[in-house]
């Protein structure tokens, strides 16, 4: 299990490669939600999501250990982040994507300097291929969330929130594989333990909710939730114990609630966020946080939206 020292080290490692993203405030959303609403704006981060933090921390270690090749398995934000930082560090990267990946996502990976290899339609096919490529080329495979360096990198968001706002009562975080929330939990609970951290999942991608309820990692079938960055089948073996230890609550939001939150942020705040970010706002808007008149920070995890849709 990572500790806050790991996150402090990660912050030092990645500082020159990332943005310290702003925290925005919305008086209109505050009125709607019944709390003072603040938004940690990782949709304004390099490559458009928080993923660059953990990816940078991991790829830097790979390069320090003389890796000459990087691989990842992702057509989304993780793949873009790995392609970007590998290119910045002068190391070739191959991102293994599904055969049916959207052209817009492939173009983004290519724009960041990544090579594309298509393989199957499931992560069960892509992950072994990405790992095999790394082995064949004296390379490193960069996992999306279940890794101490990835978790520590994402945890730097928690440190920034505590530094940027004098008084924080609640931090609301999306949950996919758990890399983001496990890092933020560690940063906050080992620094200011009275700050509540609440996780949010889509109702149709509730693997962590079920895992916590069952007190063991529980897998779910594939899901088609609009929050495609949260479509994991089960939490990570490294991330899950952190949630069991520290998480104050986990709430679920519907597809309609996610869509409405995404639209409202765009309409009222003029910020384009992806549905995986909007789950936190959806929870706050629909009274699911169990608090009133508090300072609430929603983590907006990314803004990579296919605007052609």
Structure tokens at 50: 């928080």
d(Cα 278, Cα 298) in Å, to the nearest integer? 9
Which candidate in 51, 58, 105, 189 is catalytic? 51
Strand 36-41 relative to strand 23-25, pairing: antiparallel
Residue 51 appears among annotated catalytic residues: yes
**Of the candidates 222, 225, 173, 226, the residue with the CA atom closest to the CA atom of residue 200:** 173
Structure tokens at 185: 């939990």
Which candidate in 49, 75, 211, 301 is catalytic? 75
Sheet hosting strand 115-118, strand order edge to edge: 115-118, 93-97, 70-73, 140-141
Residue 49 appears among annotated catalytic residues: no
Beta bridge partners of 201: 252
- In the block, tokens 């597809």 appear at 255
**Of the candidates 116, 122, 152, 128, the residue with the CA atom closest to the CA atom of residue 10:** 152
Are the C-beta atoms of 279 and 199 separated by less than 8 Å? no
- In the block, tokens 């939730």 appear at 225
Residues with a known catalytic role: 51, 75
């Amino acid at each position: 299990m990572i500790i806050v020292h790991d996150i402090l080290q990660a912050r030092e490692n990645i500082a020159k490669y990332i943005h310290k993203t702003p925290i925005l405030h919305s008086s209109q959303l505050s009125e709607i939600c019944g709390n003072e609403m603040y938004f940690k704006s990782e949709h304004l981060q390099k490559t458009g999501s928080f993923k660059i933090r953990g990816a940078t921390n991991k790829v830097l270690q790979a390069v320090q250990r003389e890796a000459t090749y990087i691989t990842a398995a992702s057509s989304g934000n993780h793949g873009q982040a790995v392609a970007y930082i590998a290119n910045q560090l002068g190391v070739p990267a191959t991102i293994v994507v599904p055969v049916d990946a959207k052209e817009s996502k492939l173009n983004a990976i290519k724009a960041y300097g990544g090579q594309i290899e298509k393989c199957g339609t499931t992560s069960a096919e892509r992950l072994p291929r990405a790992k095999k490529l790394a082995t064949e080329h004296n390379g490193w495979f960069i996992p999306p969330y279940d890794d101490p360096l990835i978790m520590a990198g994402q945890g730097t968001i928690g440190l920034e929130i505590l530094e940027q706002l004098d008084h924080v009562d609640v931090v609301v975080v999306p949950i996919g594989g758990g890399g983001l929330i496990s890092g933020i939990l560690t940063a906050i609970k080992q620094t200011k333990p009275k700050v509540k951290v609440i996780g949010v999942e889509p109702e149709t991608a509730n693997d962590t909710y079920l895992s916590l309820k069952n007190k063991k990692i529980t897998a779910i079938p594939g899901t088609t939730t609009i929050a495609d960055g949260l479509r994991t089948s089960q939490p990570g073996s490294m991330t899950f114990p952190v949630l069991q230890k520290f998480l104050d609550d986990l709430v679920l939001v519907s597809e309609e609630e996610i869509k409405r939150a995404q639209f409202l942020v765009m309409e009222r705040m003029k910020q384009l966020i992806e549905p995986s970010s909007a789950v936190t706002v959806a929870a706050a808007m629909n009274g699911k946080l169990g608090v009133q008149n508090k300072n609430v920070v929603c983590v907006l995890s990314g803004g990579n939206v296919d605007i052609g849709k």
